[in-house]
Structure formats: C-alpha cells, structure tokens
Chains A and B, each alone.
Chain A
C-alpha cells in the first residue's frame, strides 16, 4: 500500500468539498449566486480530483492516497480511505459529471434552487464516499446516506409520479442494503474488524457462511445495478427524475452496484463468487437481451434509455463474472463508458424535453432538419452507446466479451447478440425522433443547441473519442489492481479463519475482538 504521496488528505478534501460547499450554499439567498456557487464547488471538486489521475502510480500494488484514523475505537471502526485502479475512474467520473449536471440545471430547475443544489452537492459527497471508503461501516454510512439526497431530488423536482418513484427507489435500495449490513456485522463478528483489506485476507470459511455473506452483498448490489429481475425501480425512477437526477442515477449511482461486486463480493467471498458465476452471468445475459427488447418497444424516450441501461450494465456484470483480467478491466472501462454515454443521452433527452415538454417518440419526427447540431450530437452519443468502434463503448464491450469468451463461449455468443439489439433500438429511436418527414407543427421552430448546452456536451463527446482511440491511458492505470484482484480470486483457498496466507498483510494487524 502506497501512502499518500502528496502528504495531504486529498481524498477527504474531495469527498467533503461538495458537502462543505452545500452548507455554505444554504446561506446564499440570491438564485444566481446559488447557481454559480454550486457550479464553482463542483468544478473545484473536479479540479481537486485531477491530481489523483496524475499522481496515481499505475505500477503500485494496493491502495494509494490512503488516509486512516480511528473513528469509533470501541468498535474498531476506522475512517479509512484509499484509491486503487478500480475506484480511480469512478471517482473521476463522478467529479467530471457533477459540474456538467449543475450547469445543465441552471436553466431547467427554477423552483427551490437552494435546496436543489444542496442535495445535488450532498449527493456528490455520498457517492465519492462510497467509492473511497475502505472501512465497511464507513462505506455503509455513505451507501445509505446517499439515498436521502437522491430521494429528495426525485421526490421534489421530478415528474407527476415522482413520489411513487422516489419511494420505490428508496425502499428497494434500502431493503437490499439491510441484508448487507447483517453480512457486514457477521464479518465483524468473525474477525473483529471492519477493515476491508484485513478482511480480504481473512474472509469467511468456504461453505454456508460465505455463501450467505456473498448473497447478502450480492443482493444489495444486484438491486443497485440493477440486475434482472430487480430492475423495475429503474424505469420509474428515471422517467420521474429531473434530468440531473437521471444523469447522476445512470452515470454514477448504478455503478455503485457493479463497483460493489468488484470491491466487496468477489474479494471477500471468492469461493462463493466462483460458485455463483453461472447464476449471475445468466441474469446478466437475460438483462442484456430482455433490457434491449423492452427498450425497443418503449414509447417514452427516457424509459427507453432506462431499459438500455439494464442491457448495458448486463455487459458490465457479465464481464465482472468472467473473473479474468479482460472481463474485469473491460467492465471497469465500460462502467465509465456507460456513465458518459447514458449520462449524455439523458442530457440530450432533457434538452429536447425543455423545448417540447414531451418525451414521447411519436411526438417527434424529422427533427434533424430543424436542429442539425442537436441531431449530430444525439447520433454520436447513440453510436457510442451502440458500441461503434472508434468510440468509447466499443473498447469496453469488446474487451468484456473477449474475456467472457475465454471463460464461457456460450455466454459470450449470447452476449454478443445484445450488440445487434442495441443498434436496433437506438437507431429505431433516432429514426423516429430525428428522421422522416417533419410533420408535427410543434416541432417546426425548435431552437438548436444553446451555448451552455454545447459546453455541457462537448467535454463528454471529447472523452468518447479519447477513450475510444486511446483506451490504454485508462487500462494502464487499472492494470495492477485488476491483476491483484484476479490473483486473489484464483488463489486456491483463502485462509480459513486462521491466518494461513503466506504473504504478510500489508496493513498492521488489528487485534481481533475475540481475543
């Protein structure tokens, strides 16, 4: 484990900068000042997160930028943060999307702006905390705390059925995490620590207990991803959420589920994970095909994008459970890709909704001739989502499927069918919205992209190309961590309660509560 190279608690700063900014925001009365301040805070957080990328040592094992203090010493709970090649890009994705989302909200949120931006920034703190916590209790606190701002974002600024959708989102996720808490406590009961890295080496004895622990974590994450058949909260939440909520939801929140699999489920319960490969892979495959087919017949474009998320995240889960480096590295990159493409799709949907106040595909048609730049952007974003080579989505999907093929040919073949379906539903949507005759009078005087909309979209599209053409910038930084995880998974048997692992634990051994 590399200690913090900067000698400065950078991770703490990044996590709490948005929350601190949110607190100050409450004192601002002027709406304009609130907007600008929220943007400044989100942008500052992004800038503060850039050194993570620059100073991240791609060759170092273990966690970097580590911060560790006792928090509740009685229960051996620590304030323990750290970053590795798996979380690095999710943190950057979060800090990258946040200022864009704030900027987009400038024009679209007109009521109760102060509380809106407060929740948006508080949410960012929660999400970053989830990705950076290495103590299970700290993680759990962030995991649950983050639900609250998201709940309010949907429930207050959402569409007509927002209360129902918000509550469904909340209860669903909370129900999943309750079992996870039990599993966390079981781990503590076994080893007397919430320190994730110590628990990695100790784990649970292979057998029923490990299986139950795996299932408890997996359920929480499967709901979050969401994996078929736990996905029905997602379309509701997306359709009702304000655009910014949808972007964050699709862009970051869903990744917490797939991240959870990589960070917790696999390394904590490796034998159980291997046993459940068929089940989770099949659920992922069902998600890919089912999500794509259901997306094909949606009438509401937002609902279509929501179902496309089910399909896309199916690829991510499929890659994770290939349990080999290509599958997992591809999955990590694909999390970022999905965050960017689907985030951008929701932004574009929001932009057209602002103009037309409808999201029904049948209300559009032939728009490309009135809004050529909007159309071009939509096409690029859709092609990224379709996985067109040269753009980001292809590299992720390809690497995942190449990995899956080595693990299981049939899974890879079925998964690849999803690539055809993705083109089908997205091009169908593009056909209905942008192409064909411009026959609805309401569409004939739409304005093309505004300058602010350009500012929001261009950074994302630039990243599409950067990732698509130079994915190694990213793969290189995740390489060591992925290999480490892979080694952990393929090790014949992890120590059963006693510490039989030959290599000394890099973290100082903590006294077990049982002693």
Chain B
C-alpha cells in the first residue's frame, strides 16, 4: 500500500542532509541548493499524496502504523522504530514540509554568498528530518529522538556563524536550556514505562485511566507536569524561554524555520498528542493554560520595548506560543493546532520579511535606524504588512480566527484567562504595527537614533537599498497568501481543521452560542484599537512614546531589560554551580581526597617525596613482593 511508504517522508530529507554533508563541497552551490530544496519539496509533495490517501479512508481507520525495525529490546522494554500516520501527524507533516520548503527556497537566495553553503543546507535538511521524526513517531522514546534531534539541529544552526562569539554562545544556550526540558520528558517516559510497561501511544493511552484508578490521580498529574516542563523548553515558555531571543543570532531563515515550522511547535504538538494523559490531569492542564497565558502577556510586554527587529519577532513568537499553550490548556487541542498552523504561516512570513529587510539594509536590525522602506522594497513591505496584520488579529485574516477561537474557549474555562488573553491581543496589535510603521513608514532615520549599534554596523546610505531577488520574494508572496486565507481552515461553525483532527482528539460537539460572535466582535475591536494606538504612537505623534518612557522610566527599564530574567538565572543557578564546581576541583579533590590518599601512603611508608623520586625499578620490586605475598598467603591456607 502506498501509505506504508510513509518512511519516505523521512528518507528524503535525511538523504539530502547526508549528501550535502558528505559531498556538498564538491557538488557546487547550484547542485547543493537543488538537492536540499528538492528533497524537502518532494517530501512536501509526497506528504500531500499521503494526506489525500488518509483522507479517503473512513474516519475511524485514519491511523496507520508502519514498523521499520525493532530498536531496543531488553526484557519488557521494547521500542520499535514505528511511524504513525494519522490526522494529527499528517497535518503536522504538511505544515512542516510546506513552510519548510518555502524557507529552503528563500535560503538559496539569502545564503548565496555564504562560504559554508553546503553545510548550511545539510543542517537545514537535518532540521526538517528531525522534526518529521518527532511528529511521525508512534512512541515516546522514538519521539524523544526527534525531540533532541531538533535541539541538535537548532544548536548547529543558531551557532552557524560559530566564529562570532555571541552566536556560538546562543547555540549552546539553546541546547542546554532544551536539555533541562528534556530531563522532564525523560523522567516522564521512565515513569510511564514503569507503570504500564510501554511507551507506545496507542497501547499506552487506553491505559491512562487505569493508571489513575490504580495509582491515584497524583502520579499521572506529576507525569504531565514533567511533560509540561519539557514543552516549556522546546516551545520557549516560562521558565525556559530565555534561549529563543538569543537564537536570533542564527541566519534569519533559520529563525523562520525555528519559529514557524520546526522546533518551537514541538512542545505544543507533544502536549496535544498526549491529550489522553492531560485530560485525566486537570491540575496539570490548568498549569498549561496558566503558563501559556502568563508567557503570552509577559513576552508581549517585552516585545513592545525591544528595538531589534528580529528580537521583537522572537518575543512575539514566545507570546503566540503562549496562546497555543492557553489553547491546549483549556482542552481546545484542535484550536491550539489551528493557531500553530496559522502562526507558522505568518511568522515564517514575518521572519523572511525581516531577512529581506536586512538583505536590503546590509544587516541593519535596529528599527530606529530604518524608516521609509515602503517605497524602496515594496514587495517586502506588502507581504510584511499582511504578516503583521495576521499577527495582530486583523479581522478575517488567519491569526484572527485562530486566536479568537482560543480566547472564546478560555472564557468558558475562566474569565481571568480570557482577560489576560485579550489584553495580550491588544499589546500584540500594537507591537505588530510598530514593526510596520517604524521601519517602513515615515522617513529614513539611519544614523541619528540608534547610538548603541552605531559603531558596530554602519547602515549605508539608503540609495542602494534594493528589493530582494525573486527566489526570496516568491516565498514571501506564497506565505502572504497563506497568511491571508489560512484562517478559512478554521472558520467558526464549519471548522475544517477541527473535523479533520476529530478522530485524534475526539472533541465533543462544541457549544456554539450567539455569545461567541459577540466575542469575535470584541476581538476585532481590540485588534483595530491596537493598530490605531500604534498609528498614533509611531506615525501621528512620534513624541508620545518618549514622553511615556520618561514618565514610567523604571517600568521601561525593567521591561526593556527583559525583567532581568537572564541575569537572575545566571546569578542564581549558573554561577553558584560553577563556584561549587571550582570548589570541588580545588578543595575536595585537590586537598581533601588527595590529602587522605597521600597521608595514607605516607603512613604506610611510601612518603610523597619518595613517590616522586622513585625510579621505575621500584615497581618491579613491588610486583615481586606482591607475588611473594600471594604465594605466602596461599601456602598459609594450604598448610594450615
């Protein structure tokens, strides 16, 4: 059967990565680019075909497993390399490969002058491979392979320009913070295995209620909280989100890939996939929602105060992921996946747009030094505008529907969650249009505002500002179309995506009330208000933000320094551990243990001084005496 060949989805990007890693330098740029883009492009086409095959089956038969080989088998610990093709994994595969493919194509233009072109594409293919492995796994242990695999890929790509200290540090930071999350997932896996002797989804999930009845709800609750910890690492939520803003040090298409198609969506996916466990742990689910709402709000406030274009987008990603957590946390798994999808479209678009801006301005990222780009790079501007509008929740665009659905469901759980969500929506609209108005409208301000970056990067005169080549703008246009119309996938009341995912999530018929439309209207008003505020602050009355800053100096200080979270982590965790390590190395090992050992040696009569002066001949003697002693002992026991 065609559907049994789902492994090809993995084989193609893996082959692309391997070829480019081993032979990329010899193939030349053209071939390298074609191989990498072709591998992901074909994967996308094949995913569409398999998606269609799946769709033709009756709803209850839409879960196909394909076993490749038995991986680990020690007594009851049995893990197969087995892929699962069901509505959720198929959906994710489509998102990953479609957005991933466009980013690959864009990269061919963006990275054209980079010396390590082949290596870049090998890593990029590897990233897609690992993400597909993650979403296609039928087992937590196999999922963990992809889970750490995307961590590795992000490490390599964030630190791609490894000779820059800051990039190398950012890659390392990403890997380590993710490893802290992985710790949670590992313990959760061990625990599940010890309870039910399996980690295979379709064997494990039906036993979830048995776990609760036999071990009590608390056990499963802790397991789910451990999974949540893992998800906060990968999906950049409180408390582990701090790696994501630094991840901006990678090439911009990589940021697009991390933020949209791969990596950060993994946590949301994993929680959604584990819904039968979370559904039985209301407490853990509440934590998911609370962490999501808190992260969404916190990150949105930081986004408002940043001046680096990519960092604003990075905090916006953290914030939007918070919405997804809020969604799955209130049990709206399909809505969470819906927002994940639309976000993938518009966030990839925004990042690639930002890359196009950098391309035009020779690497400039400080929005205060931009301005008036609207006429200079019109395609980038128009597509960026669409992305920002979708992010802001502009009525009828993709982000509007998906965000709105989450807010509506949050309201049914707790009006407080909704309030945080809607407030965040207002902030979102403001910062989304800040990154439209400041860089693209008005006049060019290069050279006068940004004093910090002034030395590091000289923006050249805007005279030679140029639109990006076709290979870069075409993906922008396609993504803009998706960002415009992606919302139609989940129109209220005839939601396609919800219907498609129904066999996975078994969502009960949702209560649609007239009230929902009141909320939709409210959201629209909030989004438009936010856009208006941004217009006033950044176009009409540009002195206003400065007056606000002066008035609330301490608050601005706090928020623009990201609440000093990085500093706190360093001071409270990293530095004390290093101090402890130094103390161990110097005192415990160097003095205490060595002192005891040498003291013992001295006591026996081999003083340290003699040890140092000793000639090699001594050992011969020693060995001899050992042998003599042994013989004597044997003799003693025999002749006794």
Query: A399-B77, A438-B163, A475-B74 are contacts. A185–B187 as well, Cβ < 8 Å?
Result: no
A164 within 8 A of B: yes
A390 touches B145 (CB 8 A): yes
Query: Could you tell me if A399 and B623 are in contact, using CB atoms closer than 8 angstroms?
Result: no
Q: Please, what's the 1-or-0 string for B452-468, where 1 marks a CB less than 8 Å from any CB in chain A? A: 00000000000000000
- Asked if A340 lies at the interface with its beta carbon under 8 angstroms from chain B, I say no
Per-position binary interface string of chain B over residues 344-385, scored 1 when its CB falls under 8 Å from any chain A CB and 0 otherwise: 000000000000000000000000000000000000000000
Q: Is A437 an interface residue (CB 8 A)?
A: yes
Known contacts A325-B75, A402-B193, A471-B71; A388 and B179 CB within 8 A of each other? no
Please indicate the chain B residues that have their CB under 8 angstroms from the CB of A419 in the complex.
Answer: 179, 182-183, 186
Known: A151-B619, A170-B619, A472-B72. A423 touches B168 (CB 8 A): no
CB neighbours of B73 from chain A (8 A): 472, 475-476
A-B pairs with beta carbons under 8 A, tally: 179
Chain-B contact segment, one of A120-128, A240-248, A405-413:
A405-413
Q: Which B residues touch A172, using CB under 8 A?
A: 597
* B190 within 8 A of partner (CB): yes
Asked whether A471 and B72 contact (CB < 8 A) given A399-B77, A405-B194, the answer is yes
Return B144 CB to nearest CB of chain A, in Å.
6
A416 and B183 form a contact (CB under 8 A): yes
**Selected interface stretch from B49-57, B547-555, B581-589:** B581-589
Contact residues in A for B611 (Cβ distance below 8 Å):
164, 167-168, 171
- A167 in contact with B618 (CB, 8 Å): yes
Which secondary structure dominates where chain B touches chain A?
helix
Check B176 against A297 for contact (C-beta < 8 Å).
no
For residue A350, CB closer than 8 A to chain B, the reply is no
Do B616 and A156 have beta carbons less than 8 Å apart?
yes
Query: CB-CB < 8 A to A147: which residues of B?
Result: 623
Whether A294 is near chain B, meaning CB under 8 Å from some CB there, is yes
A428 proximal to B (CB < 8 A): yes
A402, B75: Cβ atoms closer than 8 Å: no
Cβ of A437 and Cβ of B165 under 8 Å apart?
Answer: yes
A472-B70 in contact (CB<8A) = yes
Q: A422's closest neighbor in chain B, by CB?
A: B179
Q: Is A63 an interface residue (CB 8 A)?
A: no
B: number of interface residues (CB 8 Å): 67
Chain A residue, CB-CB nearest to B142: A389
Tell me, rounded to whole Å, the shortest Cβ–Cβ distance linking B327 to chain A: 29
Contacts of B186 in A (CB 8 A): 398, 401, 416, 419
Is A326 interfacial (CB-CB < 8 Å)? yes
Quick one: CB contact mask for B604-616 with A, threshold 8 Å, 1 for yes? 0010000110111
Q: Does A57 contact B (CB under 8 A)?
A: no
Docked Cα-Cα span, A148 to B176, in Å, equals 42
Asked whether B584 lies within 8 Å of A293 as measured between CB atoms, the reply is yes
List residues 174-201 of chain B with CB under 8 A from any CB of chain A.
175-176, 179-180, 182-183, 186-187, 189-191, 193-194
CB proximity of B280 to chain A, nearest CB, Å: 21
Residues from chain A with a CB closer than 8 A to the CB of B71 are: 469-472
CA distance A324 to B75 in the complex (A): 10
Inter-chain contact A232/B594, CB cutoff 8 Å: yes
Asked if B619 and A167 make an inter-chain contact with CB atoms under 8 angstroms apart, the answer reads yes
Determine the distance from Cα of A339 to Cα of B637 in the docked complex, in whole angstroms: 39
- Residue of B whose beta carbon sits closest to that of A329: B74
- Asked if A118 is at the interface of the complex by the 8 Å CB criterion, the answer is no
A194 CA to B580 CA, complexed, in Å: 47
Judged by a CB distance under 8 angstroms, whether A296 is at the interface is yes
Mask, A136-168, CB within 8 Å of B = 1, is 000010001001100110011000000110111
Contact (Cβ within 8 A) B152 A388: yes
User: Would you call A325 and B74 a contact (CB within 8 A)?
Assistant: yes
Q: How far is the CA of A423 from the CA of B233 in the complex (A)?
A: 15
Question: Which stretch (B264-272, B394-402, B511-519, B628-636) binds chain A?
Answer: B628-636
Q: Which residues of B contact A369 (CB under 8 A)?
A: 162-163
A470→B606 contact, CB < 8 A: no
Residues of B contacting A399 with CB < 8 Å? 72, 74, 77
The minimal Cβ–Cβ distance linking A34 to chain B, given in whole angstroms, is: 21
Q: How far is the CA of A181 from the CA of B582 in the complex (A)?
A: 38
Question: Given contacts A167-B618, A402-B193, is CB(A383)–CB(B152) below 8 Å?
Answer: yes
CB-based nearest A residue for B75: A325
Is A343 an interface position by the 8 A CB rule?
no
State the CA gap A178–B633 with chains docked (Å).
11
Residues of A within 8 A of B618 (CB): 167
CB distance from B32 to the nearest CB of A (A): 16
- At the interface, yes or no: A360 with Cβ under 8 Å from chain B? no
- Alpha-carbon distance A174/B625, docked complex (angstroms): 11
Q: Is A28 an interface residue (CB 8 A)?
A: no
A431 beta carbon closer than 8 Å to chain B: yes
Instruction: Looking at the assembled complex, report how far the CB atom of A361 sits from the nearest CB atom of chain B, in whole angstroms.
Output: 14
Cβ-based interface call for A5 (8 A): no
CA distance A181 to B626 in the complex (A): 10
Query: Is A417 located at the chain interface by the 8 A CB criterion?
Result: yes
> Does A366 interact with chain B (Cβ within 8 Å)?
yes
Given contacts A170-B619, A297-B578, A437-B165, contact A402 B187 (CB under 8 A): no
A144, A182, A326, A398: the one within 8 Å of B141 (CB): A398
Contact status A326-B74, CB under 8 Å: yes
A152 and B149: CB pair below 8 A?
A: no
Are A436 and B163 in touch, CB under 8 angstroms? yes
**Closest chain A residue to B152 by CB distance?**
A388
Of residues 453 through 508 on chain B, the ones whose CB sits less than 8 Å from some CB of chain A are none
A368 lies within 8 A of chain B by Cβ: yes
The reply to whether the CB of B86 lies closer than 8 angstroms to some CB of chain A is no
A420 with B180: CB separation less than 8 A: yes
Cβ–Cβ < 8 Å partners of B627 in chain A: 144
- Residues of B with C-beta under 8 A to A232: 589, 593-594, 597
The answer, among A182, A388, A402, for a CB contact under 8 Å with B148, is A388
Smallest CB separation, B199 vs chain A (Å): 9
Residues of A within 8 A of B145 (CB): 389-390, 394
Which residues of B lie under 8 Å from residue A290 when comparing CB positions? 584, 588
Output the least CB separation between A355 and chain B (Å): 19
Give the residues in chain A near B615, CB-CB below 8 Å.
163
Q: How far is the CA of A329 from the CA of B77 in the complex (A)?
A: 11
Cβ 8 A contact of B176, one of A163, A174, A383, A423: A423
- Minimum CB distance partner of A292 in chain B: B581
Enumerate the 10 nearest inter-chain pairs by beta-carbon distance, A residue then B residue, closest first.
Answer: A435-B168, A405-B190, A293-B581, A389-B145, A435-B162, A325-B75, A297-B581, A329-B74, A423-B179, A294-B585
27 A-B pairs whose Cβ atoms sit less than 8 Å apart in the complex: A144-B626, A148-B619, A178-B626, A181-B633, A290-B584, A293-B580, A294-B581, A294-B585, A294-B589, A296-B581, A325-B75, A326-B74, A330-B74, A389-B145, A390-B149, A394-B148, A399-B77, A412-B190, A416-B186, A416-B187, A423-B175, A435-B162, A435-B168, A436-B165, A437-B164, A470-B69, A475-B74
Known: A294-B584, A390-B149, A483-B75. 11 other contacts (CB 8 A): A171-B622, A185-B633, A290-B588, A294-B585, A389-B144, A394-B148, A401-B186, A401-B190, A435-B165, A436-B163, A437-B163
